[in-house]
Amino acid sequence: MPRDIRDILKEDTRDFIKLSDKHREKFEDKLFKQHTPKKRSYFFLKAAASIAVLVGFAYYFITNNGSVDETIPSTEITNLGSVSPEMKQIENYYLTAINYEMASLETTPESEEVLNTYLEKIALLTDKYKELTKELSNKGINEKTINALITNLQLRLQLLLELKDTISELKNPKHIENEKLTI
């Protein structure tokens, strides 16, 4: 016959062991110590990596006689945009501005002489740009050549803006009257 567990516990006359007040804390400490993963020390790996880096630097400086070469040889450089995405963005910006200014030039018989003079200067700068690009391809990437290429683009744009201002001054009727008075 089934008996109620409460009745069984009431009838049990055994002495119950009283647990200490700190029993729970001790149990939790033991449990925590069992399940805490031990931290591995990577001291030796860190030391080995540091030594490897130092050996690498020493080898580099010994093979290069202590000099640092600023050029990176490359044979596939066709323009400034081939160097990096940032350089491509800079080159595209200037070339777009140059092409826009060239397309917006208005020629008149009075401005033809000035226009030809400026266009000759721009043609010389364009030739120099091509030479610098060849130098960049032959000698490799270096800061001096890249700066020269960017400066070349800036000068061409500046010349076109000056040409545009000069042409607009020539069109200005006051400028024409001032020339007649000085003659």
Q: Worst-scoring range by mean pLDDT, 74-88, 95-109, 121-135?
A: 74-88
Q: How confident is the model at residue 39 (pLDDT cuts 50, 70, 90)?
A: low
Predicted confidence at residue 176, as pLDDT, reads: 52
Q: How confident is the model at residue 179 (pLDDT cuts 50, 70, 90)?
A: low
Within a domain: residue 139? yes
Within a domain: residue 30? no
For the chain, percent of residues with pLDDT exceeding 90: 2
Mean pLDDT of the chain: 78
Is the pLDDT assigned to residue 70 strictly greater than 60? no
Within a domain: residue 143? yes
Predicted confidence at residue 112, as pLDDT, reads: 84
Within a domain: residue 50? no
Within a domain: residue 114? yes
Burial class (CB in 10 A: 0-12, 13-18, 19+), 112: exposed
Within a domain: residue 61? no
Indicate the angle between helix axes 143-171 and 85-103, nearest 10 degrees. 20
Domain that includes residue 146, residue range? 80-182
Is the pLDDT assigned to residue 172 strictly greater than 70? yes
Digit-coded pLDDT (tens) for 138-160: 887 788 888 888 898 888 889 88
Q: How confident is the model at residue 98 (pLDDT cuts 50, 70, 90)?
A: confident
Predicted confidence at residue 76, as pLDDT, reads: 60
Q: How confident is the model at residue 6 (pLDDT cuts 50, 70, 90)?
A: confident
| Cα–Cα distance for residue pair 111/161, rounded to 1 Å | 14
Q: How confident is the model at residue 88 (pLDDT cuts 50, 70, 90)?
A: confident
Is the pLDDT assigned to residue 74 strictly greater than 50? no
Q: What is the mean pLDDT of residues 62-87?
A: 64
Q: What is the mean pLDDT of residues 15-27?
A: 80
Is the pLDDT assigned to residue 72 strictly greater than 70? no
3-class SS at 153? helix
Predicted confidence at residue 122, as pLDDT, reads: 87
Within a domain: residue 149? yes
Within a domain: residue 65? no
List all residues 6 or more positions away from 175 whose beta carbon is below 8 Å from its beta carbon: 169
| Count of the separate structural domains present in the chain | 1
